Amino acid sequence: MTNEHMWLQGVVRDLCEQLGYVARLEADFADVKVESPVPYAVEVQRVSTDFAKRTAQRSANGMKTLWLLPETEKQRSLGRNGTDNDDPLFYHPAVRLCYYWAGRDHRTMVPTQYLNREVWNAGATHKIDLSVAVTLWTLADDRSGFERSSSMPLRGFLNEVLSGKLEWFTKEQLHGTSNDKRSKWAGWANPEDVQQVIALRQLKRLEGRRAANAARRRSD
């Protein structure tokens, strides 16, 4: 286990405790087990693994899983065949973990910086802020679907996930049968927004069937 991995585990535990939850390191085979209303296993994952199997094992033990995939992981594929169709970020309850230099300008760390082991060994980690991105979705302005959301601080994201304000949904739940490549991902969204969008889709399908039936009656 690298210094980076251990530092991230500690940060996640500390943030969860700040939010009022009991969080334990390396408990029940989880990097961090959080005793939220529905217990969560928070996993910092930097190497390839069987995401589906391990998520199912947590579910069988009454836990949900949150995969944090750090920027350092992005330098190599975690999927089986190295394609987007096999990228765990797109298909499992995961989010990209991004590194920023703390401070007024909050600059994004570049690969040569966060891949430098000295960053994690030299005690400079207090200068690093963490945000999450990529698989966050928000309700579109017309409230009929979802659009990509901007990044958010890790603390705020953990708060929304652990409290149930954000949940993981499949591509079909978020985007229906859309063939839009920009809408190919599963992700995190507000469950009330998802139910609203699904209800609107059902209403539109019902209205479409009624219109088609009316057109057939007129043609008879």
Confidence (pLDDT) at 214: 80
Strand partners, 188: 136, 168
* Domain housing 154: 3-219
- Each residue's pLDDT tens digit, 178-213: 666 556 689 999 999 999 999 988 888 788 888 878
pLDDT for 44 beyond 80: yes
- The count of domains in the chain is 1
Q: Please tell me which residue, 1 or 180, carries the higher pLDDT value.
A: 1
User: pTM of the full predicted structure?
Assistant: 0.86
Residue 174 makes CB contacts below 8 A (sequence gap 6+) with: 137, 146, 183, 185, 186, 187, 189, 194, 197
